[in-house]
Structure 1
Amino acid sequence: MGDPAEDRGKLTSQQELCVSDKHATKRPCCSTLKLFIVALSFAYFSKVLSGTYMKSAITQIERRFDLSSSLIGLIDGSFEMGNLLFLAVVSHFGAKLHRPRLIAVGCFLMAVGSFLTGLPHFFMGRYTFDTVIQGSMNDIVHTSYLIEELYCAPVCLCMIPSVDCVRDSSSHMWIYVFLGNALRGIGETPVTPLGISYIDDFAKAENSAFYIACLQTITLLGPMFGFLLGSLCASLYVDIGYVDLETVTITPKDARWVGAWWLGFLVSSVIMLLSGIPFWFLPRSLPKQGEENKLPPSSPTQDGTENNNATSHQAMTLAEIAKGFIPSLKKLLSTPAYFLLLCGSLLKFNSFIGLLTFKAKYMEQQFGQSAARANFLIGVLNLPVVAVGIFLGGLLMKRYKLGVVSGAQLSFVTSFMAYLLLLLQFGTKCDNVQVAGLTVSYNGTPGVVYNGNLWSECNRDCSCLAGEWDPVCSDNGITYTSPCLAGCSSSTGYGKNTVFHNCSCVLSSAPEGSMSVILGQCPRSRECSRSFTSYMAVSVLSSFINSLGTTPGYMVIIRCIKPELKSLALGIQTLVMRTLGGIPAPVYFGALIDSTCLRWGIKKCGGRGAFHCVCGLTPMCACVQVCLNMNNQQCCDVSYPILKQGESGSPFYWANTTCI
């Protein structure tokens, strides 16, 4: 075999980068790194599509399984619980193993978890909602006692025959949603820390931030399509294909509507399964970008392992890797800048997760939007500007070669501006829905304090069931919880077109108006529509400004630690975010929303179901969001001088840590 230098001289410039040594072992081309970035982008797209679809389907799952907001928040947090089990271990051990194949295994587990999440639909019966209207899928037999439930009549409730409760066998099916979401979290464990560290190890230092910015920008297409998929599924009835939709008397804006929540999980499962295939064919390590011809055949790569072509390669044992875990963790957490930035990121992440989880529900309850429209607007307005902001943030770092301190300054300024816009965002709101006996009195007087009394002089002699929720709307703009409680004594029409007449409570609240009511809640006022437009405008602007500092803030964290600690640092950051942010935030935000509820659904065998009407949601959510963001700003204020001293080489900075 000829001299390696002579052989290389006969090859083209592109082939030079692919030839290894005199053994003619081919070294991965520099383009392999770009192939990895493309594959990782698709994996990121898939995982965040599934995650954001879960967020968009929260309301549908809550109604389908009759759950409270706090419990649905716990189910949503099960993803982070799965991450918690393996994240630190995978981040530490995975850096020494075959990272692309670990990512492939993770994609497969995410696909299985997503499929398991949507599986309960096929083992549950048809969805039934509480209604007394004939012509729906819950058709009523014309018995006298049911007619008395529907209309106001002086009949004693003791005449209504009791029906034995038969507990629904699918009442605990939500556990499978919990487990599937947790399995998806386990599968996501290796994707982020190992993927980012792989890029940073083998890319040029000046290209690393740009590559990661491109990755995050492409990734944000996932949430956009996730919310659009959620919008589509929310507009489809849950049992589509199994029932005649003409017989369904409720609309997507109704609090009892449940969309085809299961369909999106099946779609995302297939996408995630496909995203894992390329990683099985990618190499364990690559030559450093730009140094393909400079590394000796036996030189160590950036991940701490020797080049694949070295004949003297000795793989590290698991015992040796485990022995260095505790010292590495101690060294990492003893870094002042990293620790303070971690605390600030945690507070910001709590605010972000709480808002993202219930943003669609907030838009439903506060502005009267349907779940489908809320998800659609988030997908086409908020997320695209976030993608642009993240890309521009990475481009600014590359164009002006921003260092650690400059990156921290940019991240701080954008975060502070977004915080100010948050205060303005929660200043736009709508008045509460006018529901007789809940938010207004039966004569239409606003500002009534809710005392749990749905009875008035106009319906006191009616044999109504107080637990009914079949809302009707009158011409005076007041919603009544049922035709009976509105004092109606007759009706015309059929199914969705049913109109109730001779409603005594409507007469008392609007003497000059109609005494009839129609099905459904009353629409919001025009002032509410204008407030919603202002809310979305401020929300989009806040999202853009906040996203400008995402990439600089991310790079500050991984650039102020030793290179061999990067995978562990990213893993610990993700672990802390998921443990102290991703798990508790949906729960306490959900409990906060539950505390504002004025009208709860009732399960078949008693007990509280999903809620129907809320009050005071804006000030309570705003208070929590403002407090979390204020503490985040304080952490940024403290960490800035530490970063400044670290860059100038001050002894105050951790001795074993240097800013790259």
Structure 2
Amino acid sequence: TSLKDRSRSSEHCSCGMFLVALSFAYFAKALSGSYMKSTITQLERRFDIPSYLIGVIDGSFEIGNLLVIAFVSYFGAKLHRPKIIAVGCVLMSIGTFIIALPHFIIGRYGFNLYVYLFSSAADLMYFAFQLTVVKGESNLSMWIYVLLGNVLRGIGETPVQPLGISYIDDFASEENAALYVGCVQTISVVGPVFGYLLGSLCAKIYVDIGFVKMETISITPADARWVGAWWLGYLIAGVITLLSAIPFWFLPRSLPISGPQNVCYVSSTDFIPTLRTLLGHPVYLIYLCVTIIQLNSLIGMVTYKPKYIEQHFRQSASKANFLMGVINIPAVALGMFSGGLLMKRLKLNIMGAARFAFGTSLIGYILSLFFFAMSCENAKVAGVTLNYNSLEGISYDKHSVFTTCNSGCYCSATEWDPVCGENGITYVSPCLAGCTSSVGSGKNTVFSNCSCIGVDGNFTASTGQCPNKDDCDRMFPYFLALSVITSFIISLGGTPGYMLLIRCIKPQLKSLALGFHALATRTLAGIPAPIYFGAIIDTTCLKWGQKRCGGMGACRIYNTTAYRYSHMHLFMPHMSLYCQGVKLILVQGPH
């Protein structure tokens, strides 16, 4: 009995050490991954690129995975798994530092700024010029460094999940394995809390902080041209990821367990027959397909959710990231941990786990239908969502920014320098508002004698868009509450579903099954979802920015109604198919 107790104690101690190290690695990779998603609008504006291209950058992480995942999953189990994970963490750190590199290579950030000169006859002479605090034109193709750094992050992340989870499942007792996996998965969701909070903090700080005088900056964090210190968070995330590699260098190749070891590996010559056997397993194949379907919707939603909050409910990037970190992500973490705990308490088998996952997904799907009702009126922008001749109702017909009141001002139709009129309407620029004089400077500039504002054309305008978000502020708390509830319920089935994946196949196929699952989900969900979600979001843009060298830049304002419907119409069919797939597993039964 004493020997058995010592053996059990040794198992708990050894597994505990590896569990802590793996949890920290999961935390680090989740933090940097979520920080990447929190900076998508910052990257769009900094490099003047559309959403679909941001989707390509986001999907490049999965491309890095694909380059080595088959090799790591199949042959990694025969090697020193902790040291392979350590090498992966170092590569992730290097990739994260490379992402931040463009900030130190290109010049200072420049945004459109307008200068108004007035003759003695009060005739407006309008000039638009680029802010020249930069030392020449920045090389906008520098976003390639972000893409390459993300690819390297993907390569480094590859061994962490399949080798880490299989290591725990091999050397932990069966009764503890589900709880351990639940703990690791929970930590991986806690990481994004800090990732989004870091994103919130950095989004408040101007991109060139320390290099420019802040009193000369005329835009605020609420402005569509604002870019936060996106590079700072990548430096912090890189250091944390580098630290996560250290413990793995000191962990053993294998751990002591009580009872006979049941770890089997397949010869490399049997790869094709083994893969054929794996894909011939009906439960594994069905669950693989439904997971791909579900992840398409979830990855697309999570990638652009901060952007959705910014555009639809007119919140700043900093606030959107903060709310994701402190409200939405903790609900997901609690759901995943509760799912692992319930699976242990209820002692669910394969079919029990499938029923549990089906029930939570079905409830989440039904609740998600209410998102269609979470509407918020589009911003009132003359010449974009409003006709100059009728400023009463929102209209998405193609409007002209030129009209009688600004016809003699020689304005540019492509620039975006919004001002808020005294009548509560936003105008694309002071020139297009027909303003002929101004007082003050920077954020405190006030334009007057604006011929397009008011009946007599003698009203004033201030810099920036009009708030006009009373209806958004009323609806936003309901959106957050529903988002938290659905996130918790859907994630409740995450751990049972993952254990279903592990338990439905033979022990010797475990590493290959996890690796192939990761390969398939990254190829068919992780890469395409951000790209086609981003491309569809781009179709709802009402006003594109202009690059300094010419050509289309980042979007400045969206048709929020079309944005909401396209966003939800992509999400709902995926969830419906997922529910049908898990139901098919229940009908199929274990084989």
CA distance in 2, matches of 1:419, 1:241: 47
Q: What is the CA-CA distance between 1:115 and the residue it aligns to?
A: 0.5
| Partner-residue secondary structure (3-state), 1:505 | coil
CA distance in 2, matches of 1:12, 1:332: 39
Q: Report the equivalent of 1:201.
A: 170
The change in CA–CA distance for 1:543 and 1:253 in structure 2 (over 3 A counts) is: same
Q: Report the equivalent of 2:308.
A: 362
| Within-5 A mapping of 1:594-613 | 594-613=538-557
The change in CA–CA distance for 1:617 and 1:287 in structure 2 (over 3 A counts) is: same
TM-score by length of structure 2 reads 0.95
Q: Report the equivalent of 2:408.
A: 461
- Aligned counterpart for 2:27 among listed residues 35, 45, 58: 45
CA distance in 1, matches of 2:242, 2:299: 26
Structure with the larger helix share? 2
CA distance in 2, matches of 1:459, 1:371: 33
The change in CA–CA distance for 1:360 and 1:38 in structure 2 (over 3 A counts) is: same
Equivalent position amino acid for 2:320 in 1 = A
| Partner-residue secondary structure (3-state), 2:30 | helix
Q: Report the equivalent of 2:473.
A: 529
Q: What is the CA-CA distance between 1:148 and the residue it aligns to?
A: 6.9
Q: Which runs of 4+ in 1 moved over 4 A?
A: 11-18, 151-155, 159-162
CA distance in 2, matches of 1:384, 1:620: 27
CA distance in 2, matches of 1:174, 1:160: 26
| Within-5 A mapping of 1:288-367 | 288=257, 290-291=258-259, 295=260, 301-304=261-264, 321-367=267-313
The change in CA–CA distance for 1:639 and 1:17 in structure 2 (over 3 A counts) is: closer
Q: Report the equivalent of 2:148.
A: 179
- Aligned counterpart for 1:636 among listed residues 572, 575, 582: 582
Q: Report the equivalent of 1:541.
A: 485
Q: Does 1:123 align with 2:102?
A: no
User: Is the 1:96–1:303 Cα contact (8 Å) retained in structure 2?
Assistant: no
Equivalent position amino acid for 2:454 in 1 = L
Q: Report the equivalent of 2:90.
A: 108
Q: What is the CA-CA distance between 1:29 and the residue it aligns to?
A: 5.3
| Partner-residue secondary structure (3-state), 2:117 | helix
Q: Report the equivalent of 2:354.
A: 408
Unaligned runs of 5+ in 2: none
CA distance in 2, matches of 1:607, 1:195: 46
- Aligned counterpart for 2:41 among listed residues 59, 82, 86: 59
User: Is the 2:207–2:227 Cα contact (8 Å) retained in structure 1?
Assistant: yes
TM-score by length of structure 1 reads 0.85
Q: What is the CA-CA distance between 1:160 and the residue it aligns to?
A: 9.6
CA distance in 2, matches of 1:587, 1:382: 23
CA distance in 1, matches of 2:490, 2:129: 59
Q: Report the equivalent of 1:25.
A: none
Equivalent position amino acid for 2:310 in 1 = E
The change in CA–CA distance for 1:68 and 1:161 in structure 2 (over 3 A counts) is: closer
- 1:316-368 per-residue CA deviation (whole Å, 9 max, x = no partner) reads xxxx8321211111111111111111111111101111111111111111000
| Partner-residue secondary structure (3-state), 2:555 | strand
Q: What is the CA-CA distance between 1:457 and the residue it aligns to?
A: 1.8
CA distance in 2, matches of 1:527, 1:598: 21
CA distance in 1, matches of 2:396, 2:89: 52
Q: Does 1:90 align with 2:83?
A: no
User: Is the 1:367–1:524 Cα contact (8 Å) retained in structure 2?
Assistant: no
- Aligned counterpart for 1:191 among listed residues 160, 180, 193: 160
Identity of aligned residues (%): 54
CA distance in 2, matches of 1:525, 1:100: 52
CA distance in 2, matches of 1:363, 1:128: 26
Q: Does 1:263 align with 2:210?
A: no
CA distance in 2, matches of 1:161, 1:541: 48
CA distance in 2, matches of 1:490, 1:154: 8
The change in CA–CA distance for 1:640 and 1:185 in structure 2 (over 3 A counts) is: same
Q: Does 1:437 align with 2:383?
A: yes
User: Is the 1:428–1:535 Cα contact (8 Å) retained in structure 2?
Assistant: yes
| Partner-residue secondary structure (3-state), 1:172 | helix
Q: Does 1:238 align with 2:175?
A: no
CA distance in 1, matches of 2:42, 2:386: 28
| Partner-residue secondary structure (3-state), 1:132 | strand
CA distance in 1, matches of 2:515, 2:210: 44
Equivalent position amino acid for 1:95 in 2 = A
CA distance in 1, matches of 2:501, 2:525: 18
CA distance in 2, matches of 1:255, 1:50: 24
Unaligned runs of 5+ in 1: 1-8, 19-27, 134-145, 296-300, 306-319, 647-652, 654-660
Q: What is the CA-CA distance between 1:14 and the residue it aligns to?
A: 7.0
CA distance in 2, matches of 1:572, 1:168: 45
Which protein shows a greater Rg? Answer: 1
User: Is the 1:340–1:639 Cα contact (8 Å) retained in structure 2?
Assistant: yes
CA distance in 1, matches of 2:510, 2:118: 70
Q: How many residues align?
A: 584
- 1:224-250 per-residue CA deviation (whole Å, 9 max, x = no partner) reads 000000000111000011111111111
- 1:30-64 per-residue CA deviation (whole Å, 9 max, x = no partner) reads 41111000100000000000000000011101110
CA distance in 2, matches of 1:628, 1:469: 37
CA distance in 1, matches of 2:396, 2:90: 53
- Aligned counterpart for 1:215 among listed residues 184, 198, 212: 184
| Within-5 A mapping of 1:566-581 | 566-581=510-525
Q: Report the equivalent of 1:552.
A: 496
The change in CA–CA distance for 1:375 and 1:17 in structure 2 (over 3 A counts) is: closer
Equivalent position amino acid for 1:147 in 2 = L
CA distance in 2, matches of 1:37, 1:345: 25
| Partner-residue secondary structure (3-state), 1:126 | coil
Q: Does 1:489 align with 2:471?
A: no
Q: What is the CA-CA distance between 1:217 and the residue it aligns to?
A: 1.4
User: Is the 1:43–1:275 Cα contact (8 Å) retained in structure 2?
Assistant: yes
Q: Report the equivalent of 2:56.
A: 74
